[in-house]
Amino acid sequence: MSGFGLIYYISRYLVYAFCKMYFRLSITYHASIDWDKNYLVVANHASFLDPPLLGVGMKKGVHFLAKYELSKVPIWGKLMVRKFGTVPVRRGKGDIQALKSIISLLKGGGNVAVFPEGTRTLDGKFRKPRPGIGMVAYQTQATILPVYIHNTFHAMPKSSNIPRPVKVSMHFGKPYRPSAYNKEKSKELYQEIAEEMMEKIKEISRSAPS
């Protein structure tokens, strides 16, 4: 998979400009974030807007997961994979190749953004996370960067195709390494790591300004 090029950074700037104007986007960062390091970025998921918002909020290039079907869309699919660093995933089944790609990116110093809940919320509330992302974190021993995205559920919920001009904010929390990395691997441990990710996001949500 290729690195990030001019198209990526131009697109990110244009998306940021649009979000700043249309959603009055504001972004806060914890002072301890070291942008010379790479992270497994985890965020709540309420809207189709969340991935592009995370992309503009990150100060370095970041890889995302996307439905495999999107990678087969003419022209756009190739752009997603080759220029935007997207990892295609076959949903509903264990996609070993996608997992290998994510692990390889993280071990190779790349940033990868995921949504522990797995899918968008239907009611605006946090969902229970899935253990798969806990496994990825454990296998790579990655430093976790939790992010809370505020108000995208009202801007563009799953039931909507047109975004509303409501204020949106994004808050990058303190990076951390789960203490569970020192334990023996198991499905229960993976779930524990995923649960901790969501708890960190909830902590940010309780203290973050809107």
Average pLDDT of the segment spanning 148-158: 94
How big, in percent rounded to 5, are the helix, strand and coil portions of the chain? 40, 15, 45
Residues 6 or more apart whose CB falls under 8 angstroms from that of 175 comprise 30, 32, 33, 34, 37, 39, 143, 144, 145
pLDDT in tens, 158-185: 888 899 999 999 999 999 999 999 999 9
CATH classification at residue 98 = 3.40.1130.10
For residue 1, is it within any domain?
no
| Contact call for residues 58 and 38 (beta carbons, < 8 A) | no
For residue 27, is it within any domain?
yes
- Give the domain range for residue 18: 6-207
pLDDT of residue 32: 97
pLDDT in tens, 34-71: 999 999 999 999 998 999 899 999 999 998 876 554 44
Residue 169 β-bridge partners: 26, 150
Q: Is the pLDDT of residue 77 over 70?
A: no
For residue 22, is it within any domain?
yes
Q: Is the pLDDT of residue 149 over 60?
A: yes
For residue 154, is it within any domain?
yes
Using pLDDT thresholds of 50, 70 and 90, give the confidence band for residue 76: very low
For residue 11, is it within any domain?
yes
What is the value of pTM for the model shown? 0.89
What's the number of domains the chain is made of? 1
